[in-house]
Amino acid sequence: MKRINILIFVVLSLATGFFFSLDIFIYGKTAPKKKLPDNDECLMCHDDPTITMEKGGKVKSLEVKKFTLAKSVHAYLKCDECHIGFDPSAIPHKDKIEPINCQSCHQDAYQKHKFHPGMKFAGINSTKPEYNCKGCHGTHNITSPKNPNSALHFTNSTNFCGNCHKDEKTAHLKSVHSFEYEKNNPNAPTCIYCHKEPITNGFNLEKVQLKLNQEKLCLNCHLKGTQTEFSKSLVNYEESTHGRALQKGNKSAAVCVDCHGAHELLKASDPRSKINRFEIPNVCGKCHISIANEYKASIHGQSLLKGNMDSPGCTYCHGEHGIAPVPEVTQRIITAHNMNFNTVVSTRMLYCVECHTNDTLMKKYNISTVAKAHEWLPNVARHYQTVRCVDCHSSYEPPNLSHNILPPDRTIKKCEECHSKNSILMTKLYKHEKEKSREKYGFINGTILSDAYVVGTTRNVILDVLSIAIFGVAIFGIFIHAFMRWYFRRSPHIEDEKEHSDDKEHEE
């Protein structure tokens, strides 16, 4: 019987040791500790609302409510596990009271709080609330961020982040992101959702990398993630003009926040929106200063400034996100006006044609249609094929970027303004034709052997033919002259025979 008792004792001891070791193996030293006895000794004093101390010239409360601590995620801890070295029986409890170092337990705090990159270097003695944990999480009333009722839950981040970032909170509450969140849209971003990524200057990143991060964050929702009504007009940003420039390292290339803003994101239909139709020239003009100045001085810019919704802005021709869709203009409309469809498309004059062939729209503003306005031109089809709309309808004043469209009464209508020596045509259209020719045929064929606009400046067919004839005769004469000199040249053998004949005659 004694042996059986001993055996039972050994088995129970081994089982207890095994399960204790298993518990340590699974949970380790950081395993949640079981709730310890109440901190009655500390709370006997600190549960008193009148207990205070003076620090830095200010009176601070030292009250800790027992029920508050009981609801905290740290309810299982003893006071002296955080307040290390405190002697409850002595007053003061410690000669030198250091700030509590939360990172002694939460060593991964920096990785979870990348939106406050300074936390990595600030240390526990920082006076900034965003760096010393308690500024956001509190002290004795800490609740789990996973608790939907917690002030720290990501759905409430606008409020607790807004305690410090007041301007950003005000702007965000006006945005479509905030409105969508109030509608219980699960895809609506909050402060934490965006700022957990390295998208701010506090991360000390290169400008290009920072912009790439911002672009990736926006496109994760608006293009690569769940498609919403706000992403219907989006294109692949990497393939756009701005996207390609950014990929090449151009730190001035525009990303989403440069045009749409960072926090106060509003629909284009909102008059306060940065992407409102009437604000677009100002947004684009932040980078494209010269073009914006030309456009604002143009008939289109002036009309838009007066509130004309039919007036084209930057995005009408250039598209919203870098790749402009071709307007739906049927080929029949173009050919009916003696235009070449391929030419109109390649020179991007399709946008002009779309509006200015619309009889109803032109009558609304008492403007002649393309056909009516160009009746006076001889050989209209030839002009349409070689001259762009902007060549005649935009101002020739520097910087000459073709965005300062003139009103009808100031449009060039005199033939000699183009067809004369050193004309405007030679400084504008000629360069355009040379560039297009070089792109199409290369440097040799497109530049050296191009059909430069020299013959034809007089618009006189007889003089054109005569000039070509004279040029041909000159070239032919040079060729004949060279051939005759070569053919009748004197050979060394003939020279020797002549010298021998002269000597013989002299002897005789």
111-156 pLDDT, tens digit each: 888 888 877 766 555 666 666 788 788 888 898 888 888 888 878 8
Give the count of beta carbons closer than 10 Å to the beta carbon of residue 271.
9
Q: Is residue 5 part of a domain?
A: yes
Q: Say what the pLDDT of residue 249 is.
A: 93
Q: Say what the pLDDT of residue 40 is.
A: 82
Q: Say what the pLDDT of residue 34 is.
A: 42
Q: Say what the pLDDT of residue 351 is.
A: 85
Q: Is residue 484 part of a domain?
A: yes
Q: Say what the pLDDT of residue 170 is.
A: 93
Q: Say what the pLDDT of residue 6 is.
A: 58
Bridge partners of 405? 394
Q: Which helix (H) or strand (E) holds 58?
A: strand 58-61
Q: Is residue 89 part of a domain?
A: no
Provide φ and ψ at 324, rounded to 5°: -80, 130
CA distance 136 to 142: 9
* Separation in Å, CA 217 to CA 64, 224, 229, 369, 492: 42, 10, 18, 46, 86
pTM of the entire predicted model: 0.66
Long-range CB pairs of 79-85, under 8 A, 24+ apart, other chains included: 79/39, 79/42
SS3 394: strand
Is the Cβ–Cβ distance between 223 and 237 less than 8 Å?
Answer: yes
Q: Rounded to an integer, what is the distance from CA 300 to the centroid of its chain?
A: 26
Q: Say what the pLDDT of residue 71 is.
A: 86
CA distance 322 to 239: 8
Q: What six digits make up the tokens of 403? A: 């965005």
Q: Are strands 52-55 and 58-61 parallel, antiparallel or unpaired?
A: antiparallel
CA distance 42 to 90: 11
Q: Is residue 434 part of a domain?
A: no
Q: Say what the pLDDT of residue 133 is.
A: 82
Q: What is the mean pLDDT of the chain?
A: 79
Nearest residue to 327 (alpha-carbon basis) of 298, 349, 296: 349
The domain of 473 spans 460-508
Q: Which residues contact 40 (CB under 8 A, 6 or more apart)?
A: none
Residue 432: CA count within 13 A, CB half-sphere: 17
Provide φ and ψ at 363, rounded to 5°: -65, -35
Q: Is residue 486 part of a domain?
A: yes
Q: Is residue 469 part of a domain?
A: yes
Q: Say what the pLDDT of residue 454 is.
A: 46
Q: Is residue 74 part of a domain?
A: no
* Separation in Å, CA 321 to CA 231, 236, 285, 363, 370: 11, 8, 15, 32, 30
Q: Which helix (H) or strand (E) holds 54?
A: strand 52-55
Q: What six digits make up the tokens of 364? A: 């609304």
pLDDT per residue as tens digits for the range 284-318: 999 999 999 999 999 999 999 999 999 999 988 88
Show the low-confidence residues of the chain (pLDDT under 70): 1-38, 121-131, 224-236, 322-328, 421-463, 490-508
Number of domains present in the structure of the chain: 2
* Separation in Å, CA 136 to CA 116, 125, 133: 11, 16, 6
Q: Is residue 222 part of a domain?
A: no
Is the Cβ–Cβ distance between 376 and 413 less than 8 Å?
Answer: yes
CA distance 87 to 53: 17
